[in-house]
Amino acid sequence: MIFHEVLVVGGGLAGLRAAIEAHDLGSEVAVLSRVHPVRSHSVAAQGGINAALANHPASQDDTPEKHAFDTIKGSDYLADQDAVELLTSEAPTRIFEMEHWGCPFSRLDDGRIAQRPFGGAGYPRTCYAADKTGHALLHTMYEQTLRRGIKVYEEWQVVSLSVADGRCHGVVALDLRTGRLEAIGARAVIFGTGGGGRIYGHSTNNITNTGSGIAIAYMAGVPLKDMEFIQFHPTSLFGNNVLMTEGARGEGGYLRNRLGERFMEKYAPKAMELAPRDITARAIQTEINEGRGFPGGYVHLDLTHLGAAKILERLPAIRDIAINFTGADPITDPIPIQPGQHYFMGGIDTNADGASLVAGFYAAGECACVSVHGANRLGGNSLLETIVFGRLAGRHAGGYVKGQGGEAAGKGAEKALAKTMTETEKRVTWVLEAAGPEDPADLRDELRESMFANVGIFREEKALAVGLDKVRELRARYPKIGIRNRGRKYNLDWARNLELEGQILVAETIAAGALARKESRGSHFRRDYMDRDDASFLRHTVAHLTKDGPRLEYRPVTITKWPPQARTY
């Protein structure tokens, strides 16, 4: 059996940052990822990462406290304010750390890190590396991982988490190259497994963002938090939903409808194109639904007035993507865009240490819900979350394995892991041999389309009930799937269909949470309950898996300095 003191699952920013921290504190650490680390979705992040550095001429009096307020208002007051204060006060230190590790940020003439305006922010505080910020950050982080000699298992997929007596004992993972299943024991396991955008159709996410880690934790009895809050990004390319960063509007881009109007003046007269994402995505969709979009369903992101020099310096990747996929050159032509699924605000229920209810099991990054984004995340805060809370999860997991918790975890670990291995082997073999009449690709497509249509940007009771019924129907059809490829080596048909059951279960928590939340807050907009209802719903949804689907509980939100107010921009 393989054993590591701390096992990190996920080679994105959160996972690598956690691994570095646990290593530096003296733990023996390994990282396991189903793709090469720099192919994680973090690499695709474009627009930037927030920190109140006050470098921009217009942000001289910016502070972490103002960053916290913007984040809390952006969250529609659902974020836990103590966690947000931790996020924003840590931000400058973590950015300078990335800078010292060699991250090639874009710079001002005097050499300081450049910052651009982003949605919902009172000051320009988004640090960036042109429009390839995730690329710059992830490669820097990977270099630090290599430098420390941390072992990385590449192209291994975790399929289950071993939990017994309230403790985590390791994972069972599939070595994709050989098709061999291995039990990996660990005193502490940290998930940095990313979001589940691909449970939805029309997503900006990497195809590997299946929500796999969220599902594995949920199936092992770890509760999920605030799953109904799904972010739809206002500007993804019409047709294929490749992201067009918010940085394009941060640099001064306009949104225009078919009549040429800058319609944001109706929805957010002060913030205009830099209103938060929930408001801007709904504004675009309203223009399209009411007939002021272009045929097929899109509006324009217009950068033509920015001039070639600015576009080539600040938004070169956006220009390339627009030309390659639509033929429109943003220097001379407007870009056709529509909202697309983008981000999971909810996830594995953790505290600010990354700890879950299961001793020795931690999560950080997009798969986790601390919560710092509440009902709507501000652009630039997710990359920040990965490095702040990835580090803290690594720190606490490292402390746990050295302390009594780690010793206690050692006892009975082998037995628990052997049991998980036997159960997992059965399930994994069943999928490989499945010969039923249902094509799992159909199930996946139906799930995605239904989630986008029924549990999407605009919601109401009837459609949500249809969405929930659909999920339950798919759950009933899953045992009848058949797969085509029965080889064990690098069989992605097998690997994907192993995850499908978990995706359906995660989708069920989203639909059930959305149906039960009879109010509108942030990204969760109910046409039948248009107002925020603090008296009944200023609380987190916590979903526990049962035989009959999720059991929902509610938990209070931590309010420190900022009582909820009306949210206008």
Ligand X SMILES: Cc1cc2nc3c(=O)[nH]c(=O)nc-3n(C[C@H](O)[C@H](O)[C@H](O)COP(=O)(O)OP(=O)(O)OC[C@H]3O[C@@H](n4cnc5c(N)ncnc54)[C@H](O)[C@@H]3O)c2cc1C
- Length of the chain as a residue count: 569
Task: Tell me which of 55, 81, 241, 381 binds ligand X, using CB under 6 A.
Answer: 381
Nearest to 106, CA basis, from 234, 250, 236: 250
Task: Tell me which of 27, 42, 55, 450 binds ligand X, using CB under 6 A.
Answer: 42
Q: Distances in Å between the alpha carbon of 287 and those of 297, 324, 338, 456, 508?
A: 9, 26, 11, 16, 30
Per CB under 6 A, which region of 32-40, 220-228, 421-429, 507-515 contacts ligand X?
32-40
CB 211 to ligand X: min, Å: 8
Task: Tell me which of 21, 22, 48, 372 binds ligand X, using CB under 6 A.
Answer: 48
How many CB atoms are closer than 10 A to CB 213?
A: 27
Catalytic residue among 4, 187, 233, 532: 233
Measure the CA–CA gap between 288 and 295, rounded to whole angstroms. 9
Per CB under 6 A, which region of 86-94, 162-170, 353-361, 379-387 contacts ligand X?
379-387
Q: Which of residues 441-480 bind ligand X (CB under 6 A)?
A: none
Pairing of strands 549-556, 539-546: antiparallel
Task: Tell me which of 6, 29, 44, 224 binds ligand X, using CB under 6 A.
Answer: 44
Per CB under 6 A, which region of 90-98, 222-230, 283-291, 360-368 contacts ligand X?
360-368
Print the binding letters for residues 299-338 with ligand X: x by CB under 6 A, - otherwise.
Answer: ----------------------------------------
Beta strands in 322-415 (DSSP E): 335-344, 347-349, 361-363, 368-369
Is 539 noted as a catalytic residue in this protein?
no
CB 204 to ligand X: min, Å: 5
Q: Which of residues 383-402 bind ligand X (CB under 6 A)?
A: 383, 386
Per CB under 6 A, which region of 100-108, 268-276, 323-331, 381-389 contacts ligand X?
381-389
| Both structure tokens of 56 | 């921009």
Nearest to 410, CA basis, from 19, 5, 26: 5
Cβ-based nearer residue to ligand X, 12 or 119: 12
Task: Tell me which of 134, 185, 196, 398 binds ligand X, using CB under 6 A.
Answer: 134
Q: 521 pairs with which residues across the strands?
A: 524
Task: Tell me which of 10, 64, 117, 440 binds ligand X, using CB under 6 A.
Answer: 10
- Residue 374 near ligand X by CB under 6 A: no
Task: Tell me which of 7, 9, 68, 199 binds ligand X, using CB under 6 A.
Answer: 9
- Residue 13 near ligand X by CB under 6 A: yes
Nearest to 218, CA basis, from 358, 71, 31, 400: 358
Measure the CA–CA gap between 455 and 106, rounded to whole angstroms. 38
Measure the CA–CA gap between 199 and 358, rounded to whole angstroms. 26
CB 40 to ligand X: min, Å: 3
Q: Distances in Å between the alpha carbon of 136 and those of 57, 236, 317, 342?
A: 24, 22, 13, 21
Total interface residues for ligand X by CB under 6 A: 47
Cβ-based nearer residue to ligand X, 73 or 256: 73
Cβ neighbours of residue 259 under 8 Å, at least 6 residues apart? Answer: 292
**Residue 324 amino acid letter:** N
Catalytic residue among 17, 169, 198, 249: 249
- Residue 145 near ligand X by CB under 6 A: no
CB 31 to ligand X: min, Å: 8
Largest CA distance in the chain: 69
Cβ-based nearer residue to ligand X, 391 or 532: 391
Per CB under 6 A, which region of 35-43, 95-103, 324-332, 423-431 contacts ligand X?
35-43
CB 356 to ligand X: min, Å: 15
- Residue 64 near ligand X by CB under 6 A: no
Q: Distances in Å between the alpha carbon of 34 and those of 95, 160, 308?
A: 27, 14, 40
Cβ-based nearer residue to ligand X, 213 or 537: 213
Alpha helices in 403-459 (DSSP H): 404-410, 413-433, 440-454
| Both structure tokens of 555 | 């938990």
DSSP state of 78: -
Is 125 noted as a catalytic residue in this protein?
no
Q: What share of the chain is helix, strand, coil (3-state, %, to 5)?
A: 40, 20, 35
302 φ/ψ sector (left φ>0, alpha ψ -120 to 50, else beta)? beta
Task: Tell me which of 27, 193, 497, 520 binds ligand X, using CB under 6 A.
Answer: 193
Per CB under 6 A, which region of 67-75, 140-148, 204-212, 458-466 contacts ligand X?
204-212
Measure the CA–CA gap between 447 and 507, rounded to whole angstroms. 8
Q: What are phi and psi of 126, to 5 degrees?
A: -95, 110
Q: Which residues are catalytic?
A: 233, 249
Residues lying near ligand X in the complex (CB under 6 A) are found at 9-15, 32-35, 37, 40-42, 44-49, 133-134, 157-158, 192-195, 204-205, 208-209, 212-213, 243, 245, 343, 365-367, 379-383, 386
